[in-house]
Structure 1
Amino acid sequence: MIRMKTLVSTSLLAILLTASIPHARGAAQVSKTDIQGTWAESQISDWIDRGYVTGYDDGSFKPDNTISRAEFVALINRSYGFTETTPIAFRDIPASGWIHEEVAKAVKAGYVTGYSNGTFGANRPISRQEAAVVVTRLLKLEDADSPPIGLADAGSIDAWARDSVATVVANGIIRGYTAANGFKPRQPLTRAEAVVVLYRSVVVKESLADSPTTPPGPTIPAVPPTPTAPPLPPAPIPSVPNPNPAPPILPEPTFPSSPSTPSTPSTPSVIDRTAPALSGVKTGLLPLGDNVQAVSSETGTLYLVPVTTTASLANLNEAVEARLGVKTSAAAGTNASLPTGSLALGRYAVYAVDASGNVSAASGEITLGQKQLAVAMPTGLSAPKSYDGTASASVTVGALIGVIGTEAVTVTASAAYDDASVGAGKTVTVTYALSGADAGHYAAPVPYRTDKGIIAPAPLKIDKPNVSVVESSASNSEIRVTAGALAGTVAGETVTVSAEALYDLSAVGKARPLAIVYNLAGADAANYAAPAADTGYVVYVQSHPDMGTILDVIATAKMYDGSPLTDVWAGSRAGVPGGAGIYPGDDATVVGQGTYADAQVGTGKTLTVSYTVSGVDGPNYDSPASFVLDSGAITARPLTITAPVLTAKPYDGTLTAAVAPGTLTNVVAGDEVFVQASATYADPQVGTGKVVTVVYTLSGKDAGNYAAPASLTVNTGEILPGA
């Protein structure tokens, strides 16, 4: 015979129950429609009538909803009048609130403990085997000496609960379903079962009230990764509903219609033991952040959990509570979405759970991998690149597409031609790299390729040529040009340059156009474009009967340098004995000088060409007559500038960027020139690595003589979230 160690009378229990549910009178009137015909109708109806339990706000009782560990202990505390508390420190229970108070009472009463990891699992559904442990401790019953007999799943009962299950089964407090179906130890307890368990516990107390006590039975060990004891709501059973239904227990109840008088059992209803069917799940690789779609054949809940999760309702909920998985409600036959953005990369499966707590078979395996991001079309690839001996290409990266929410991910791009040689229609490949705190969640965009790349010959610069006019054997003048030094060739490459003066002596007029043309040679000459022909010259032609044809070269165009002077190369004025010109053997040389009317930039400027005779014998000669040309030109001086400084700005919906210009270079000493910069974002959205275009303007009294630095496009802009 199983005996109690301590007894509480049924009459006292009834008084405590009634007194401990103060808001039962104010709760909704229970219609009892959802308990009619159920296996526990008699017991639930009786307790509703006595005011021991209440229903939900809509008047229902929801007998098949599961009950949590916190709710179960709250019901026991109210039923047995436990009011004393003891300090507790479970790390998953807040320091205040009804759960803390009820668990503190339960621990003080000695019928529950927590888990070995320092948690209590207050919101977890309490399993049938946990309820068995709680009841044996609550009633201080001696444990049975062996596991339950005749139950098909006796071997699945955890060792820490085996003796307690044997005890409650032997005393008829919790029964198995059938010999074939077993005890279902890990199945959650329902609201109906909770009422019946306490109902039956009263019967056991009364039946043993007059029996002598016996020495204590064996101590029940604290449940390791599974709880030793459980809990319930801060109000009557229904006032803290649990939305996760589970299958009912005890199909053959035999207990009284009141806590002291046994009742006739009602006819048990058909219990749903059929697991829902799962469909519509796409298996295989899925980018993290995309939703998993699934359809359940029954209304209930869908779970997405790691494939290592055991297929039980308790374990599914544990995975969700630990943020290892997610769940969502699902209507029968309706597609539902399970978000993956909060999960880790890995292997997952979907389960469907119906209203009775039946768990479907697992779906096929889903691998959550890095989400493949896309990127807007890159720009700048079709612009020709000047040959520089490398295959690198310039590219402006597009905006990232597909980042979840506000996750921190930025993208950079690098581009390369298929080779470094000069040519058109070249293949350019753009590759992307991700950075940022959340970059590990994503795979970089796939490389982009185009066949519109161009590598153009590199334009070379050349220093000012050396021009001279010398006398020929026929006493005619001859123009000779020596090219200046080349600049811009790649180190180690072989390129040479030559120059020649081209002009037409047969043309009409004294001032005739002259161009200095450059030609490249050498093994690597094809990679370069020769410096542009210099056309800023005229040759001034004069004929003299004694001196022959006299040629003067005049630089009629120059870049602004703050001076009105320009170069003139005077031709030979050699004469013959007794004739005009410089007498042979005299130390005298004709020197020319060109002077603009002013030093400012302009075209069609007046240019005066004058001469002097230098040398020891120069004073013996009159200088050639000066003359005026009206074809002079002074071009604007191009300026360069150091890099601008961009400042991040808060979002304001505009494209304006905050920028400070760099420092101007190549300004003539003493000139007054200032630079301003304006910057514009490509779009006004929050982000980093944004494209910004910087435009420069000049001011100051000498600004008209200069060309502003070229506009610049960068991808280092940043717009911050607004306040």
Structure 2
Amino acid sequence: MNRLQKFVPTVLTAVLFLTSPQVTLGATTTLKTDIRGTWAESQVSDWLDKGYVTGYEDGTFKPDNTISRAEFITLVNRSYGFTELAAVPFRDVAPATWISTEVAKALKAGYIKGYSDGTFGANKLISRQEAAVIVNRLLSLENKTQQESSFTDAKSISLWAKEAVDAAAVNGIIQGYSNASDFKPHQPLTRAEAVVVLYRSVTVRDVLASTPTPTPDTPTLPTPTPTPKPATTPIPTPSLPTPTIPTTPTTPPVDRTAPTLSGVTTGSIAFGDNVSAISNEKGNLYLVPSTTGSTLSDLNRVISESLGIKLSVEAGVPAIFHTAALSLDHYVVYAADASNNISLASGEIILTKKQLIVAEPAALAPIKVYDGTPSTSVTAGPLLNVVGDDSVILQAVASYNDSTVGAGKTITVVYTLSGADADHYLAPVNHSINTGVIDRAQLTIGEPALSVEESLAGDSELHILSGTLIGVVAGENVSVSVEATYDTGTSAKARPVTVHYTIAGADAANYVAPENNTDYVAYVQHHTDTGQIIDLITTSKVYDGTRSSAVLAGSRLGSCAGAGICPGEDAKVEGSGTYDNENVGKNKTIDVSYTVAGADANNYSAPEAIALTTGEITARQLTITAPVLTSKVYDGNTTAIVTAGTLNNTISGDDVFVHAVATYSTPQAGSRKQVTIVYTLTGNDAINYIAPVSVTLNTGEITPGI
């Protein structure tokens, strides 16, 4: 399909009702109680009787309810008798449903398309100007006088719908409000309005189909008066009247003077910009490719092939050609008068790609953590200067000048275009900043392996093995060493243990070593015969819904006469710890108790229990599945409609719930809008958790409102 034929914006090609057909087409019997006395009573009643529409289950019609895209095309298909089906390509239209059937009919009839993202949007509402565009497609309406509507709010009619609204108004299909002064182009169509619009459109269709083609009248010539013959008998000759001889009409002079053009826009212009021209005579103006012949048949052939534009004009009145329907090419303007004289061609008009611009990147990250690559995340702002309903999608890719750690780096954002109409545009100019930063990556590490062993001197010693490094870029050379220390110069029994990590290797400069681990306490006891005994107690943990604390009891081997375990006997001291409660908090009490296990355990008494007051339970970080954003109609605020995903990492049985609040970056209508979602937690156990991290998406949509 060429561009001139694309009369309706892709994003607004079809418009239908909000509720399902079971509700819209609803009850089998409608009492008509709520349409009596209304402005649309006659048309709605007629269509109810014909079965094109029905009411709701309570017997009402609800004429002021709005109508969705799916419901509107259902009415179109019924009133126009469309039954043939086409394949349905839309990913949001489920197969084998009433919606897919009606969409298939509309596609076959050729009066709808879908959105540029491959969806149909069956439940979106139809506006009054969209309905005008649909009707214009169905009837190929003409506005022969090029009369523009006189609505007081005409400036608010979208450019892509202006001609359709004018044609529909001139043909009496859609009228205005307040004594026809206001059109309200963005106001959703009501059920009553939808019926009346289609009722009138069917009437206009029938009139157009039955109107005969006019033929020229045959002129009536005067009959000459015959001259009387004289009688054979001589009589006085009467005075005869002079016969009337028809007068040959004077032939008007033939107009052989070609019209002249003035005020023509020439040279290079951007796609979508207007071309102006003036003819000194009443007739037609043609904007056609420069290779078109200068005969009337050539000009009209190009128009019939939708390769150019034809306008009816008055003498000396400026005319405007809208180039949004044309392909990129070289064009000229011709004028033709009422006698079919053709002017000389205007200077050449070169229709070139339109330069698009874009707001500053909405989510360019000037600081990132080292990941071994120069790429960084970016989200482009909305495109500006796209013409009408053209399908143009903007992609943005951002990258640093290199991938190494450092500051003052250059980040360049490269824009590219895609979409069905991208060839008519130039991508926005690339954007760059010189304040980029790549920070060293913070490494984490798995839990260390701690053990307490008896030395040859009879003392307990603390040994440690590191966990596995997490966060090193694949293929890079980074190693880790670990050391566990505690204060040996104090007589205190409970001594905090610090696990220190150090990284090395050729790529270590790109990283920050794992944070020191301070989750343990060494409980040191002295015995005269066994030396120093160390018990390792876990004093900090992430909330897990339990009160337990790990305790690793040190060796207590020694002489049988002392406090130790006799060599060779099967006995071992074991410890366990219990927090005072399972909830998040600091300075919590941990009670540590001991038992003796083994075949010879009965020969020994367990060590005395101890209590620590330095316990800590930290909150558990939650994650969440992807949220679901729902588009909304413009209402002037930035509140977005969102459904939160499902929480992950909660403890079974805990009373915790998530709530999501979503906010658009701006309140204006548009697609691919930035939305920030913030999560909060409620419930009796919410205090033990950290809410999921906020997220920013770029899939928000605000549709035009009233």
Partner of 2:602, secondary structure, is helix
Alignment-derived partner of residue 181 in structure 1? none
Alpha-carbon contact 1:418-1:427 (below 8 Å) kept: yes
Matched, 1:382 2:378: no
The answer to whether the 8 Å contact 1:278/1:360 transfers is no
Q: Is residue 2:366 matched to residue 1:413?
A: no
Residue 712 to residue 342, structure 1, CA distance change in 2 (3 Å): same
Question: Residues 92-491 of structure 1 correspond to what in structure 2 (within 5 A)?
Answer: 100-103=212-215, 105=216, 260=247, 281=265, 283-284=267-268, 286-292=269-275, 304-310=287-293, 324-325=308-309, 338-350=321-333, 362-491=345-474
Question: Are the equivalent residues in 2 in contact too, given 1:557–1:633 (CA < 8 A)?
Answer: yes
One-letter identity of the residue aligned with 2:662: A
Listed as ranges, the gaps of 5+ residues in structure 1 are 1-92, 110-137, 139-197, 211-257
Whichever residue aligns with residue 660 of structure 1, its letter is T
- Comparing 542-551 with 480-489, greater Cα deviation is found at 542-551
Report the equivalent of 2:232.
none
- Tell me the secondary structure at the aligned position of residue 619 of structure 1: helix
- Pair 1:581 & 2:564 matched: yes
* Shift in CA distance, 299/669, structure 1 to aligned 2, threshold 3 Å: same
Change in 2 beyond 3 A, CA 1:396/1:620: same
Over 3 Å counting, the alpha-carbon distance change for 1:383 and 1:549 in structure 2 is: farther
User: 1:283 is aligned with what amino acid?
Assistant: G
For residues 208 and 429 of structure 2, the distance between their equivalents in structure 1, rounded to whole angstroms, comes to: 48
- In the TM superposition, residue 481 of structure 1 has moved relative to its aligned partner by 1.2
CA distance in 1, matches of 2:366, 2:653: 38
Name the SS for the 2:521 alignment partner. Answer: strand
Whole-Å separation in 1 of the counterparts to 2:439 and 2:314: 63
The 1:465–1:328 alpha-carbon spacing in structure 2 relative to 1, beyond 3 Å, is farther
**Deviation digits for residues 349-403 of structure 1, max 9, x if unmatched?**
3567899999776554332133222222213322543444444422222111112
Q: Is 1:607 aligned with 2:590?
A: yes
1:717 maps to 2:704: no
**Other-structure match for 2:191:** none
| Corresponding residue number in structure 2 for 1:82 | none
Q: Give CA-to-partner distance per residue, 1:516-569, whole Å, 9 cap, x none.
A: 122234444444433222122233344444443443332211001111111223
> Judging changes above 3 Å, is the alpha-carbon distance between structure 1 residues 95 and 635 closer, same or farther for their aligned structure 2 residues?
closer
AA matched with 2:515: A
Please state whether the residue corresponding to 1:102 is helix, strand or coil. coil
Q: Secondary structure at the match of 2:214?
A: helix
Superposed displacement of residue 319, structure 1: 5.6
Give me the whole-angstrom Cα distance separating, in 2, the residues matched to 1:318 and 1:696. Answer: 62
Cα distance in 2, alignment partners of residues 483 and 262 from structure 1? 116
What's the offset of the Cα at 1:501?
Answer: 1.1
Deviation track 1:406-441 (CA, whole Å, cap 9, x = no partner) reads: 434333333334444444444433333444454443
Residue 690 of structure 1 pairs with residue 673 of structure 2: yes
Q: Which one of the candidate residues 608, 621, 624 is aligned to 2:604?
A: 621
Aligned equivalent of 1:564, options 547, 551, 556:
547
**Distance verdict in 2 for CA 1:548–1:363, change over 3 Å:** farther
Once the 2 structures are TM-superposed, how far is the Cα of residue 444 of structure 1 from its aligned partner? Answer: 3.1
Q: Distance in 1 between matches of 2:565 and 2:246?
A: 146
Aligned AA (1:709): P
- Tell me by how many angstroms 1:691 deviates: 1.8
Query: Do the aligned partners of 2:619 and 2:690 also contact (CA within 8 Å) in 1?
Result: yes
CA-to-aligned-CA distance 1:17-71 (integer Å, 9 cap, x gap): xxxxxxxxxxxxxxxxxxxxxxxxxxxxxxxxxxxxxxxxxxxxxxxxxxxxxxx
1:500 to 480, 483, 486: 483
Distance in 2 separating the partners of 1:387 and 1:259: 104
8 Å CA contact retained: 2:266, 2:350: no
AA in 2 matched with 1:648: S
Alignment of 1:514-553 (within 5 A): 514-553=497-536
CA distance in 2 between counterparts of 1:262 and 1:444 reads 66
CA distance in 1, matches of 2:700, 2:246: 76
Q: 1:632 aligns with which of 615, 630, 634?
A: 615
Looking at structure 1, the residues matched to 348 and 539 of structure 2 have their Cα atoms a distance apart, in angstroms, of 82
**SS of the residue aligned with 1:612?**
strand
Cα distance in 2, alignment partners of residues 605 and 259 from structure 1: 126
Per the TM alignment, residue 602 of structure 1 is displaced from its structure 2 partner at its CA by 1.2
Distance 2:492 2:279 in 1: 99
The answer to whether the Cα contact below 8 Å between 1:288 and 1:345 also exists between their aligned partners in 2 is yes
% identical equivalent positions = 50
**Partner Cα distance (1:95, 1:664) in 2:** 62
Q: Matched residues in 1 for 2:284 and 2:700: separation?
A: 46
Change (3 A) 1:610 1:647: same
Q: Contact 1:393 / 1:415 at 8 angstroms: preserved in 2? A: yes
* Matched-pair contact (CA < 8 Å) for 1:381–1:452: no
1:658-677 equivalence runs, <5 A: 658-677=641-660
Post-superposition CA distance 1:108-139 (Å, at most 9, x none): x6xxxxxxxxxxxxxxxxxxxxxxxxxxxx9x
2:198 alignment partner in structure 1: none
| Cα distance in 1, alignment partners of residues 561 and 636 from structure 2 | 88
Structure 1 counterpart SS, 2:325: coil
- The whole-number CA distance in structure 2 between the counterparts of 1:262 and 1:646 is 78
How many pairs were matched up?
Answer: 481
- Structure 1 residues 699-708 or 306-315, which shifts more? 306-315
Distance across 2 between alignment mates of 1:459 and 1:295: 70
Letter in 2 for 1:548: G
* SS in structure 2 at match of 1:341: helix
Task: State the distance in 1 between where 2:475 and 2:321 align.
Answer: 62
Question: How far did 1:706 drift?
Answer: 1.6
TM-score by length of 2: 0.58
Per-residue CA distance 1:60-101 (angstroms, 9 max, x = gap): xxxxxxxxxxxxxxxxxxxxxxxxxxxxxxxxx96555xx55
| 2:626 is the counterpart of 1:643 | yes
Does structure 2 retain, via aligned residues, the 8 Å contact 1:278–1:361? no
For structure 2, the residue ranges without an aligned partner over 5 or more in a row are 1-206, 228-244
- Which moves more between the two structures, 588-597 or 455-464? 455-464
Q: Give, as a single letter, the amino acid of the residue that structure 2 aligns with 1:325.
A: I
- Tell me, yes or no, if the aligned pair for 1:276 and 1:354 is still in contact at 8 Å: no
Aligned-pair RMSD on alpha carbons?
Answer: 4.3
Letter paired with 1:482:
L
Deviates more, 1:555-564 or 1:368-377: 368-377
Structure 2 counterpart of 1:552, one-letter code: D
Find the counterpart in structure 1 of residue 19 from structure 2.
none
Superposed displacement of residue 299, structure 1? 11
Deviations 1:479-517 (A, max 9, x none): 211112333444444443332113332357443332212
The equivalent residue for 1:179 is none
Deviation at 1:708?
Answer: 1.7
Task: Find the aligned partners of 1:434 and 1:390 in 2 and give their Cα distance.
Answer: 24
Which amino acid letter does the alignment assign opposite residue 468 of structure 1?
A: S
Provide the residue aligned with 2:111 in structure 1.
Answer: none
Q: 1:466 to 1:101 in 2, by over 3 A?
A: closer
Q: Tell me what 1:592 maps to.
A: 575
**Distance between the aligned counterparts of 1:702 and 1:329, measured in 2?**
76
Task: State whether residues 326 and 339 of structure 1, in contact with CA within 8 Å, keep that contact through their aligned partners in structure 2.
Answer: no
Distance 1:614 1:522, change over 3 A: farther
1:634 CA displacement: 0.4
